């Protein structure tokens, strides 16, 4: 009989699923084993436990393995590599839904089915539910026949939220084809891929499958480009640490204290919301003017004239959005400016505009027609189960308010210039135009993941969200204090509470001012050791921002910005010009150029690539470059040309073996010869991201001038926890002692001859700085806005104490214990 193994993050969930399946086959018990949880209460998966479960379930007929998500898949695949060839040949990894799939697999196995049939039954387990619940195609959405189609898995951390959805719409609109998509995982109806509002209602989350189909003259090209876009995670990039919500172990507890208190108020009451942007804010309450303007009850002037009013208003709002996009790109970066691309697409959304036209044809004036249509869309988005996607309803309503203001001739909302801004929610446009004198933002609703919160973080404005509707009743002018790192909010604080908040605010302001004032000065520890603090950049604009914030050098240039989002590779001249411009911005200080880091998870549309079951363990980084030598040769030539006139380092990503590094160095030597034979001050290094490479660092040392530890990938590989997977995100902490041991191994393997730097997010974590120095790291490269603060963290450290602290951290059991150690250390 075929055995079954359940790989799941939760031991309790796995046991419950097994109990359900066993109930279905009581007369013919099936061997079912679980490999679930790290213990009875801790979520996680373990490859060794999977191998043990497989051995126990295999009674000679083989095993079908069912997994839940994320690292469960990775652990199962790693487990296969640990098995001998004979047993491995009898194992099938099955992508079926865990609960339904397990029940179907158990019934099939009990009936004597073989491995392929058991896996097929599990995979088809949702068919009955889908048939029962999935609605038929809506009228006007008839089948596209036998046209090209495909299915992709959405890997974006928050699914198809505004930015990736906007890029999907833009791609679909670029072809002479009718493109439709649906959420295969939920059995949703098909919707036009050209409608941002319809895509939003699909609620496509991370890990869910998206079906794509098309018809028309360019149908095949359209499907191919959408598939390629999905393979690039819809060209969406995670924000740096400065844009992540403040890290807390648990959500702060809500109290029942009512917020509105004066006049004659008693003792100050404390409530708690969700921390969204760190910092302390104190000031008088100022309410946002975010209501929908009054719409006069007047008769329609006729369909044609009302539609002309809509077109004129759309043109005006489009100009405003382009202005906001440009200013946000300048101040916060291109990634955050892309929020407004979704707003612009809403103005062209075919589904929304058809609804507006229909309402106007039925006699509604333009403002009422637009308001009703946008409310229909927003209400539909609010009905989706995913909280991150639900938060996108604010984008629809924000564009709706802008349109209605234009239609009724009401000027933009009055801007708050000081105090604590109180609002129901904060749209991206309002966040982008917040006056820098605003002390903080307090939202009744909203989410730390909303675009308004993201922009507040990039601008350094404290924010607390989700405080509750009572905050809207706080009287204007009432003193309010908030802490955006803890979610604490106090209305009308008494003198003692106010003094406490002011002390916190003063300490933060002094620290920021001290860091900013000294940003351009070297970072020197208390015992006189200089540590270089550089910046990670992904564009020329990033480089200029890094110079302004005091970066000593460029520790990492993400050259992917030149290769992604286009149909052909950049030639040598284009690459040379970009690298030279970054070098000139740094005025003779060293820049480190990482060669192209793409592969299975970030494919290039102009490079043929085979599909991979697990692209994170596939042809990535240097493997991809060596497989496509023409691309690498052109890039190395561009780097060598710039190195003739500027101090340049070249760094190879995802190196696993010495042979890979030797091969890459040989190609670099050839590029130097093509550039004229003068290598200038060119230095050569590799990124330490693969645990095996970290453990054999000494073997790489003869071939490298420096090692740069990429803690993002090193952490996810060491802990088998994908950093973009919310289900295991808590595990992916670079301060885990296991990860620290790998960093220590890199420094020991360098042997004092090879310099060691850290360019991952851990370098920007103040708690990590003394530990990294203690292991021997002497260069840190961080997001540009983090440079001043990290320099201050270096200045606060002493190497003798840091070395002892680092050694103690290696003996602890988890990242939380390491963070406690760092926080409570008497001298950091």
SS (H, E, C) 66-91: EECCCHHHHHHHHHHHHCCHHHHCCE
Q: Hey, what CATH topology would domain 134-238 get?
A: 3.30.1340
Q: Report the distance separating Cα 602 and Cα 605, nearest Å.
A: 10
Residue 308 is a catalytic residue? no
3-state secondary structure 716-732: HHHHCCCCCCCCCHHHC
Distance CA 155, CA 399 (A): 28
Active-site option among 158, 336, 451, 624: 451
Residue written as token pair 């909303």: 450
CA distance linking residue 360 with residue 378, whole number of Å:
19
Classify domain 303-408 by CATH architecture.
Answer: Orthogonal Bundle (1.10)
Torsion-angle region of residue 720: left (phi > 0), alpha (psi -120 to 50) or beta?
Answer: left
Tell me whether residue 311 is exposed, middle or buried, using C-beta atoms within 10 angstroms of its C-beta: 0 to 12, 13 to 18, 19 or more: exposed
Q: What is the pLDDT of residue 643?
A: 95
Cis check for the bond before 263: say yes or no (omega within 30 of 0). yes
Which regions of the chain are under pLDDT 50? 131, 136-143, 239-245, 247-258, 260, 262-268, 601, 724-726, 828
- Residue owning tokens 């679930």: 36
Q: Is 451 a catalytic residue?
A: yes
The distance of Cα 374 from the centroid of its chain, to the nearest Å, equals: 28
Q: In the chain, helix, strand, coil percent, each to 5? A: 45, 15, 40
C-alpha torsion angle, residues 437, 418, 393, 156 (rounded to 10) = 20
> Is residue 328 classed as helix, strand or coil in its secondary structure?
helix
Q: Cα dist. 142→127, 136, 137, 376 in Å?
A: 21, 10, 6, 23
Sign of CA dihedral 309, 314, 320, 323: negative
Q: Looking at domain 689-828, what is its CATH homologous superfamily?
A: Phosphoenolpyruvate-binding domains (3.20.20.60)
Let me know: does 418 contact 435? Beta carbons within 8 Å.
yes
Predicted local distance difference test score (pLDDT) of residue 729: 52
Task: Say how many residues make up the chain.
Answer: 828
Selected catalytic residue, list 225, 336, 759, 801: 759
Q: Which residue has the tokens 């796995």?
A: 14
d(C-alpha 10, C-alpha 1), whole Å: 26
Which segments of the chain belong to CATH 3.30.1340.10?
Answer: 134-238
Q: Copy the structure tokens of residue 151.
A: 């299915």
CA atoms within 13 A on the CB side of 99: 9
Give whole-number Cα distances, 587 to 350, 400, 530, 680, in Å. Answer: 49, 47, 20, 16
Residues of the chain with CATH 3.20.20.60: 532-685, 689-828
Region 3-131: CATH code: 3.40.50.510
**Burial track 213-235 (b if 16+ CB lie within 10 A, e otherwise):** bbbeebbebbbbbbbbbbbbbbe
Sheet containing 149-153: order of strands: 149-153, 209-215, 178-183, 191-192
Element (H, E) at 755: strand 755-758
CATH 1.10.274.10 residue ranges of the chain are: 303-408
What sign for the dihedral angle of Cα 563, 567, 572, 573? negative
Closest CA to 235 of 318, 311, 165, 309: 165
Topology given in CATH for the domain delimited by 532-685: TIM Barrel (3.20.20)
549 and 764 in contact (C-beta within 8 Å)? no
Under 8 Å between Cβ of 415 and 433 = yes
pLDDT tens string 500-532: 998 988 887 787 788 888 888 999 999 999 999
pTM as predicted: 0.52
Q: Compute φ and ψ for 180, nearest 5 degrees.
A: -130, 155
The CATH code of the domain at 269-290+414-514 is 3.50.30.10
How many whole angstroms separate alpha carbon 597 and alpha carbon 523?
A: 30
């Amino acid at each position: 009989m075929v055995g079954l193994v359940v790989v799941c993050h939760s031991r309790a969930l796995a046991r419950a699923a097994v109990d359900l399946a066993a109930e279905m086959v009581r007369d013919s018990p099936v061997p079912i084993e679980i490999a679930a949880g790290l213990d009875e209460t801790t979520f996680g998966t373990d490859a060794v436990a999977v191998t043990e479960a497989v051995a126990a379930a295999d009674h000679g007929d083989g095993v079908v393995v069912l997994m839940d998500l994320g690292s469960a898949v990775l652990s199962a695949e790693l487990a296969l590599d640990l098995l001998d060839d004979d047993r491995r040949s009898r194992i099938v990894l099955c992508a079926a839904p865990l609960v339904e799939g397990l029940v179907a697999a158990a019934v099939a196995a009990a009936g004597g089915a073989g491995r392929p049939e058991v896996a097929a039954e599990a995979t088809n387990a949702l068919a009955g539910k889908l048939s029962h619940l999935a609605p038929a195609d809506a009228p006007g959405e008839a089948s596209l026949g036998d046209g090209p189609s495909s299915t992709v898995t959405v890997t974006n951390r928050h699914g198809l939220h505004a930015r990736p959805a906007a890029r999907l719409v833009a791609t679909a609109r670029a072809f002479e084809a009718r493109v439709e998509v649906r959420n295969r995982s939920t059995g949703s109806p098909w919707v036009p891929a050209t409608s941002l509002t319809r895509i939003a209602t699909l609620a496509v989350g991370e890990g869910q499958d998206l079906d794509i189909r098309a018809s028309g003259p360019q149908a095949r090209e359209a499907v191919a480009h959408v598939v390629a876009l999905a393979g690039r995670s819809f060209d969406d990039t995670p924000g740096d640490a400065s844009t992540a919500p403040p890290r807390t172990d648990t959500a702060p507890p809500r109290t029942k204290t009512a917020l509105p208190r004066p006049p004659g108020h008693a003792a100050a009451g404390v409530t708690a919301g969700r921390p969204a942007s760190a910092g302390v804010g104190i000031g008088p309450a100022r309410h946002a003017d975010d209501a929908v303007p009054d719409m006069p009850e007047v008769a329609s002037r006729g369909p044609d004239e009302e539609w002309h009013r809509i077109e004129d208003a759309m043109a005006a709002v489009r100009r405003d959005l382009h202005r906001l996009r440009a200013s946000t790109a300048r101040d916060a970066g291109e990634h955050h400016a892309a929020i407004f691309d979704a707003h612009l697409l809403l103005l062209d959304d075919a589904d929304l505009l058809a609804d507006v036209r229909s309402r106007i044809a039925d006699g509604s004036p333009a403002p009422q027609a637009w308001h009703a249509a946008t409310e229909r869309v927003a209400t539909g988005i609010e009905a989706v189960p995913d909280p991150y996607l639900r938060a996108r309803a604010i984008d629809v309503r924000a564009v709706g308010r802008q349109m209605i203001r234009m239609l009724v001739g009401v000027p933009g909302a009055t801007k708050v210039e000081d105090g604590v801004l109180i609002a129901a929610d904060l749209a991206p446009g309002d966040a982008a135009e917040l006056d820098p004198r605003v002390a903080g933002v307090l939202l009744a609703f909203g989410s730390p993941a909303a675009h308004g919160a993201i922009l507040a973080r990039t601008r350094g404005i404290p924010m607390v969200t989700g405080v509750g509707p009572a905050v809207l009743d706080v009287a204007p002018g009432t003193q309010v204090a908030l802490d955006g790192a803890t979610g604490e909010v106090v209305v009308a604080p008494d003198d003692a509470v106010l003094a406490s908040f002011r002390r916190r605010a003063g300490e933060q302001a002094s620290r920021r001012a001290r860091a900013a004032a000294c940003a351009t000065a070297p970072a020197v520890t208390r015992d006189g050791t200089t540590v270089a603090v550089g910046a990670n950049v992904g564009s020329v604009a990033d480089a200029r921002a890094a110079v302004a914030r005091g970066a000593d050098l460029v520790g990492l240039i993400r050259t992917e910005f030149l290769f992604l989002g286009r149909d052909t590779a950049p030639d040598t001249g284009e690459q040379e010009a970009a690298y030279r411009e970054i070098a000139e911005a740094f005025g003779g200080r060293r820049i480190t150029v990482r060669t192209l880091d793409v592969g299975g998870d970030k494919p290039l549309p102009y490079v043929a690539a085979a599909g991979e079951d697990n692209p994170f363990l596939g042809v990535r980084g240097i493997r991809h470059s060596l497989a496509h030598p023409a691309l690498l040769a052109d890039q190395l030539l561009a780097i060598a040309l710039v190195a003739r006139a500027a101090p340049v380092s070249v760094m190879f990503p995802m190196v696993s073996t010495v042979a890979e590094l030797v091969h890459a160095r040989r190609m670099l030597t050839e590029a130097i010869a093509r550039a004229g034979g003068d290598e200038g001050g060119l230095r050569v290094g590799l990124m330490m991201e693969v645990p095996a490479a970290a453990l054999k660092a000494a073997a790489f040392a003869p071939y490298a001038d420096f090692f740069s530890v990429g803690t993002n990938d090193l952490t996810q590989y060491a802990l088998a926890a994908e950093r973009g997977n919310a289900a295991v995100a808590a595990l992916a902490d670079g301060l885990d002692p296991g990860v620290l041991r790998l960093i220590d191994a890199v420094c020991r393997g360098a042997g004092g001859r090879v310099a060691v730097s850290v360019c991952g997010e851990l370098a920007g974590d103040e708690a990590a700085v003394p530990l990294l120095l203690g292991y021997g790291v002497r260069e840190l490269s961080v997001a540009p806005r983090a440079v001043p603060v990290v320099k201050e963290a270096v200045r606060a450290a002493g190497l003798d104490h840091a070395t002892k602290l680092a050694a103690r951290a290696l003996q602890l059991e988890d990242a939380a214990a390491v963070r406690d150690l760092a926080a409570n250390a008497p001298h950091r």
